[in-house]
Amino acid sequence: MRGRTTDSTFMQRALGLGLSQLGKTVPNPSVGCVIVRDGVVIAEGATGDGGRPHAEEAALAALGGEAEGATAYVTLEPCGERSNGACSCSQRLVEAKVKRVVFACEDPSPYASHIGTERLKAAGIEVETGLMADECAALIADFVKNLPVKR
């Protein structure tokens, strides 16, 4: 069963995961991720202490990277690029063959905004944005304040 209520329930869980790491992930934002297949949570993760691993990376690692046909609920747009050159979360989700990604807030980084979304859509993954964006914005407030301005 898929619907706004179910989506909200899973995003609420992702928000809770992100809140559990709030203040511990600097310089990165605190993010929560819940991966669901057939209405059942199959993995979850949050940004690690110091910003690594990313939430999606942690959740996918718990599954051995296998999430074919699943939906990922993420409090922030999956990253399109990583500053350390590692595989981005959007690429990891593509490789894991998720069918749908629902995220709350767009990536506010002037260097990465929308890159993750574009990669997911190009791979044929259904992308929905904005669910619980106001609630999840608290997770990235400090991150946004410290972003450089792209020139």
State pLDDT tens for residues 40-89.
999 999 999 999 999 999 999 999 878 999 999 999 999 998 777 789 99
133 three-class SS: helix
Range of the domain at 8: 4-145
Domain presence at residue 16 = yes
Domain presence at residue 89 = yes
pLDDT bin (cut points 50, 70, 90) of residue 148 is low
Is 57 a known active-site residue?
no
Domain presence at residue 21 = yes
Domain presence at residue 151 = no
User: Of residues 44, 56, 57, 77, which has the active-site annotation?
Assistant: 56
Percent residues over pLDDT 90 in the chain: 77
CATH number at residue 135: 3.40.140.10
Strand order in the sheet with 100-105: 40-46, 32-37, 71-76, 100-105, 126-129
Domain presence at residue 94 = yes
So what's the pLDDT on residue 42? 97
Does residue 55 contact residue 49 with C-beta atoms inside 8 Å?
no
Residue bearing the bigger pLDDT, 111 or 150: 111
Domain presence at residue 97 = yes
How many domains does the chain divide into? 1
Model pTM? 0.92
Domain presence at residue 150 = no
